[in-house]
Structures are given as C-alpha cells and as structure tokens.
C-alpha cells in the first residue's frame, strides 16, 4: 500500500491501516514497532496500527491470506503517543479490491517465503542452537504437510503441487528438465504420472573436492522405474541448470510452461527466496518442448549444434503480453544483449534479485551503470557482485552497492543495536536469495519482467543449460514481481539500517512528534521519488 500527503498533518504520529474483506468485515492491520519499544516488549509483539501507527507512507500487509480479495484505507492518527485518535476526515478512500497473490490472465507468478525474515522462525524453532537447530529445520522442510514447511514454501509449493495434481487428473503428458531434485512431495507427484512423465534429470552441482558426483542419485533411483527418465550428466565448466516443465494436452501438444528459479528441492521450496511462473501459451510451450528435445538428444555433451540452435529466441504472446524465450548455451551473448537493451531503455526504474551472476559482463553490471539520480534502482544480490564466493548479502540502494556486514544476512550474533531480536538461522545454507529476476518500469508504459533459471551473466549464457523468459506489457505481473523484490529488499535493508546506528543503545521505536513526515514531503527527496515511483508518477528527466 502506498499513499501521499501534500503537506504535514498536524500532530499526526502515523497512520492506521484498515483492511476490508469481501464479506464487508473490517479490521485493523497490525504492526511490530511502537513508541519506546524496549527490553520490556517481548520479541514478536504486535499491536493494531491504531495503537502503534505506521510512520511511513508505504506498508505491506504480511498477514493477508493468499487468494483472498481485500481493499484498504489509511487514516491519520493524531494526538500524543498515549492518546491517539483517528482523523477520519483526512483519511483516504478505500482502494480498489485486489486478490492477494494472484495475477489475472494467462501468466501467473508464485513466490515462497524462505527464511529471508527469520525472527518468527527463531521463535518457532525455540532455543536450540547450532547443529541441533539446523537438524530440526531440516526435518521440518523434509516433511510434507508440516505447517512450518507449508508456510515457508508459501504459494509457490502450493501451486506446484496443485499444477501437477490437476495435470495428472487430466491424464496429460509432461516434460521436465530439472537441475536438482530431492523434495519428497514433488517426487511423489511426478511418479504419479508414470510413463506420461518424461524427466530429463541432471547431476546437480556435481563438483566436490574429490571429483564429480551425482547429486540426484537418490531421486534417480526412486524415479527410474516409474517415469520415463533421461540422464544429463554434464561435467567440466557446465551445469544442466534448467528447472522447467512443459505440460501437454490430451493430444501431446504443448500448451503450458512452468519455469522460474526454483529447484525441485526441500531448500529450493522452503529456505531460499524463489519464484515460479506459469505461462499458458501454446507457442511458448512449443519452444520449450523443442529445447527439451535438443537437450535430451545431446546426452551428456555440448555439441556445437546445441548453442547454434539457440541463437534465435522463441517469440510468442499471451493475452496482451509479448513473450521472448532465450535458451542457453548460446553464442555471442545474444540473450544478454537483448535483455541489456531493455534495461538501458528504463524510464522510471529497475528492481532486481540476483543469486550470483558473476563478476563482469552481467545484467547486474548493466543495472549498476544506470543513472541512479534519474532512475529508481533497488535490489538484492545473494553474493558479492565482485565475484567473491561468500555467503553474504549485497544490497543495491538507489543504484549504489551497499556492502552490508554479515549480520545483515546471518544475524546469529546479536549486539546492542539489534537487542530486541532473537538469534536467527546461521550456517544452514549459503543461499538466501536464489531468484533471478529483473523488473523494468513496472508502473510505466513499457513494463518488463525477466526471469527463469538463467543467472543473468556470461557463464550462464555460454556454458550452461538455462532458460530466460522476458515478458513485456504485462503490468499486473510486473507489479507482483516488484512487490516481491521490495519485500525481500526491505527485510535486508532494515537489518542494515539497524547495524549502522551510531547510538550503541540502538533504536527506540516510533517518533513522538509529527516531524517524522518531513523527509517524505521535501520536493525531489529520495523518499518522495520513491512514492512517485510506486504510484506510477515518477517521470525521470532524460
């Protein structure tokens, strides 16, 4: 939710946010930060925003139920911190109704929660530390129907399971190209297809200090006699890195594609920030099936014909959206050149999530080269953009790389600046952000979404099996990806902000005067430009 005020509201100490359900029931969105929030407030305390108001002009409702239709209203809360009253006459109108976690039309996106924001998970797992807490979490995410597993995996896992179940009931055929596979629920869903499932299974990362291994050996044994299983056991500098699925109709004609960043593993579903995208387009599905055929024919190798056949993209449409599918390996970095032109054409801003695109020649380098004074540029990279292989988070704030300290990603050692926090998960996985997404001008005239398995750098383009789908002119989809990116960004930005406080006693909560509004009201300020971006009003100077 984003809103604006033309001037400072006298004695306003924040906003209350109201939600209304389709049955007409209204309630107040809760917040987690109050006035003078200190040691006497237990971790996880939350109160209605009428008591702990929102001292921002943007907010996310983290407790909204997926697939529920809601609308919202903001109302200033005026007075003193111990005596606040709603100023209803200055409140907003109700927003248009919106269905949570749903994109209308033939393209839909799905996201998990992962352990990006892990305070609630620390409370859930209890006081166990080190190996014990990692073992406890490992058991949870490996157990189908566990409530915490379902919550972590969110709408992403729910849609994958539902998609497979529906396709199996319809007796259709599917073709999957998978990099990693170990999730018991997804393996069971694949096995249910029998020989109508054609699975091209790679050997995963396949490298250890002792040599090559088959990371998917257990899944291969489980599925070998149940589905049509083909192996792609690549070696050297290559990764068979796809995670796509082609669904065919009753006549074995491709008609849907599932792709995105999600490996079909317990960690891919539950602990890493990932996305999945389902596209209903016979044209696009046909291109993906053709690529599946080429990869199966290549066996364990990389014949020159594989890269040369991928020099030209597949183009298709889905409703009003224009689709471009690139497959790797390809030649001359043609996929990155196509994407680069769209990024360089940004008129309002670029948002992104990267796992590890590499040190140079990547789309992240292209984004960082944009004019941050002209455009709104924010995002998160799981690893150092300079190529250092460390489990750290790198933030890009207003186009500049913020080298956040390790506590931002792995806040296991809580100091006084984070004294209201519980120790969080550290060491369970080096991967926090696994999505590979770029969104250009989501609220402009030419919205663009780029996603897939492609890590958006030269190695993925030239050495790996990968796919990149670029969706233009799908504003609802672009908005949904934009919100997901900034949700993740804001979690890490908040951690960084807390560690940068000069006052060693930390931050004591909400301000008790109405001057908190001033940074949002200064003409041309970063915060005002941010609001204009989200409201679709930012008009960057050429």
H or E stretch at 407:
helix 406-409
Tens of pLDDT, residues 215-242: 999 999 999 999 999 999 999 899 999 9
Tens of pLDDT, residues 332-370: 999 999 999 999 999 999 999 999 899 899 999 999 999
Nearest to 12 by CA among 466, 513, 420: 513
pLDDT at 490: 86
pLDDT at 429: 61
Would the pTM count as exceeding 0.85?
yes
pLDDT at 64: 85
pLDDT at 326: 98
Asked if residue 400 lies in contact with residue 370, where contact means CB atoms within 8 angstroms, the answer is no
Alpha carbon of 364 to those of 170, 291, 303, 387, 420: distances in Å? 41, 26, 29, 12, 34
Please give the span between the terminal C-alpha atoms of the chain, in angstroms, as a whole number.
Answer: 28
Q: What percent of the chain has pLDDT over 70?
A: 87
pLDDT at 421: 58
pLDDT at 391: 47
Burial state string for 315-337 with b = 16 or more CB within 10 A and e = fewer than 16? ebebeebebbbbbbbbeebbbbe
| Burial of residue 61 (number of CB atoms within 10 Å: 0-12, 13-18, 19+) | middle
Domain with CATH 3.30.870.10 in the chain: 107-495
| Burial of residue 298 (number of CB atoms within 10 Å: 0-12, 13-18, 19+) | middle
Nearest to 60 by CA among 123, 2, 119: 2
Task: Give the residue-averaged pLDDT of 381-392.
Answer: 62
Tens of pLDDT, residues 131-143: 777 788 899 999 9
pLDDT at 412: 47
Q: Where are the strands (E) in 134-220, listed by range? A: 174-178, 197-202, 207-208, 211-212
Q: Where is mean pLDDT largest: 28-37, 69-78, 107-116, 247-256?
A: 69-78
Q: How high does pLDDT run on average in the chain?
A: 89
Task: Give the residue-averaged pLDDT of 308-318.
Answer: 97
For residue 198, the 8-state DSSP code is E
CATH H superfamily, domain 107-495: Endonuclease Chain A (3.30.870.10)
How far, in Å, CA of 350 to CA of 277, rounded?
A: 20
Q: Is the pLDDT of residue 413 over 50?
A: no
More confident residue, 251 or 118: 251
Q: Is the pLDDT of residue 542 over 70?
A: no
Place of tokens 């993925």: 460
pLDDT at 19: 97
Instruction: Provide the token pair at 46.
Output: 């939350």
Q: Is the pLDDT of residue 279 over 50?
A: yes
How far, in Å, CA of 527 to CA of 520, rounded?
A: 5
């Amino acid at each position: 939710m984003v809103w604006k005020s033309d001037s400072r509201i006298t004695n306003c100490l924040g906003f209350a946010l109201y939600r209304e359900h389709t049955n007409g029931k209204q309630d107040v969105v809760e917040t987690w930060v109050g006035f003078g929030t200190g040691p006497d407030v237990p971790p996880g305390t939350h109160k209605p925003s009428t008591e702990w108001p929102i001292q921002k002009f943007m907010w996310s409702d983290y407790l909204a139920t997926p697939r529920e239709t809601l609308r919202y209203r903001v109302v200033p809360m005026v007075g003193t911190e111990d005596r606040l009253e709603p100023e209803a006459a200055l409140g907003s109108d109700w927003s248009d109704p919106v269905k949570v976690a749903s994109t209308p039309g033939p393209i839909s996106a799905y996201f998990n929660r992962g352990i990006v924001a892990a305070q609630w998970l620390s409370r859930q797992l209890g006081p166990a530390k080190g190996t014990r807490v990692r073992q406890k979490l490992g058991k949870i995410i490996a157990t189908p129907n566990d409530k915490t597993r379902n919550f972590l995996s969110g709408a992403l896992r729910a849609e994958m399971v539902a998609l497979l179940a529906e396709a199996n009931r319809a007796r259709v055929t599917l073709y999957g190209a998978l990099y990693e596979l170990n999730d018991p629920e997804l393996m069971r869903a694949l096995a249910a297809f029998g020989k109508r499932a054609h699975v091209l299974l790679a050997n995963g990362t396949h490298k250890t200090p002792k040599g090559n291994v088959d990371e998917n050996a257990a899944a291969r044994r489980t599925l070998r006699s149940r589905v049509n299983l083909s192996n792609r056991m690549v070696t050297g500098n290559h990764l068979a890195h796809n995670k796509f699925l082609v669904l065919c109709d009753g006549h074995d004609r491709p008609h849907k594609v599932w792709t995105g960043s999600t490996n079909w593993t317990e960690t891919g579903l539950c602990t890493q920030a990932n996305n999945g995208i389902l596209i209903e387009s016979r044209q696009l599905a046909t291109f993906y099936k053709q690529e599946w055929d080429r990869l199966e024919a290549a066996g364990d190798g990389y014949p020159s014909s594989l890269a040369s056949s991928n020099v030209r993209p597949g183009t298709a449409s889905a409703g009003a959206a224009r689709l471009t599918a690139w497959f790797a390996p390809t030649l001359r970095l043609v996929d990155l050149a196509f994407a680069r032109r769209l990024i360089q054409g940004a008129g309002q801003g670029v948002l992104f999530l990267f796992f590890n695109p590499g040190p140079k020649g990547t789309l992240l380098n292209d984004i960082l080269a944009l004019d941050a004074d002209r455009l709104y540029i924010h995002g998160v990279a799981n690893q150092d953009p300079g190529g250092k292989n460390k489990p750290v988070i790198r933030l890009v704030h207003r186009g500049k790389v913020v080298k956040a300290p390790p506590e931002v990603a792995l806040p296991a050692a809580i100091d006084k600046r984070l004294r209201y926090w519980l120790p969080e998960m550290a060491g369970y996985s080096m991967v926090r952000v696994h999505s590979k997404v770029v969104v250009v001008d989501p609220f402009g005239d030419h919205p663009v979404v780029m996603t897939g398995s492609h890590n958006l750098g030269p190695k993925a383009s030239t050495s790996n099996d990968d796919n990149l789908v670029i969706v233009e002119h799908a504003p609802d989809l672009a908005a949904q990806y934009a919100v997901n990116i900034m949700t993740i960004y804001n979690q890490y930005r908040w951690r960084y902000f807390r560690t940068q406080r000069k006052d060693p006693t930390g931050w004591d909560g909400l301000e008790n005067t109405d001057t908190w509004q001033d940074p949002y009201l200064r003409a041309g300020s970063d915060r005002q430009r941010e609001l204009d971006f989200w409201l679709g009003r930012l008009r960057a100077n050429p």
